[in-house]
Amino acid sequence: MIKGAIVIDTERCKGCAVCTEACPKQVISISKKVNGKGYNYAEAVKEEDCIGCASCAVVCPDGVISVYKVKL
Ligand code: SF4
Ligand code: SF4
């Protein structure tokens, strides 16, 4: 079985939320916390549901999401 995992560079995230809309599994949510630039950043809240489809990484205008596929 293949599972996905994502890493978000939260310091470079602008909180635009495009990735939260793009994810078919609602893995990503915008945090109530802010990064060093004052943006509410994206975070993986249900990473166990990630299927590694990379939709989030494709739509992110700043390319701050990395997607990994993990073999279980
Ligand atoms: S890789 Fe796919 S399932 Fe995983 S967080 Fe990104 S959009 Fe969602
Ligand atoms: S699409 Fe990119 S910049 Fe926008 S909230 Fe998601 S990770 Fe942050």
Mark residue 12 as left, alpha or beta (left: phi above 0; alpha: psi -120 to 50; beta: remaining): alpha
Which residue, by CA, sits nearest to atom 4 of ligand 1? 50
| Ligand 1 proximity of 51 Cβ (cutoff 6 Å) | yes
Please give the biggest Cα pair distance in the chain: 39
Predicted structure pTM score: 0.94
pLDDT digits (tens, 9 = 90+) for 8-48: 999 999 999 999 999 999 999 999 999 999 999 999 999 99
Domain ranges of the chain: 2-71
CATH topology of domain 2-71: Alpha-Beta Plaits (3.30.70)
Separation of CA 26 and ligand 2 centre (Å): 14
- The per-residue pLDDT for 71 is 85
Which distant-in-sequence residues (6+ apart) come within 8 Å of 35 by Cβ? 10, 11, 13, 41
Secondary structure element (H or E) that encloses residue 2, with its range:
strand 2-8
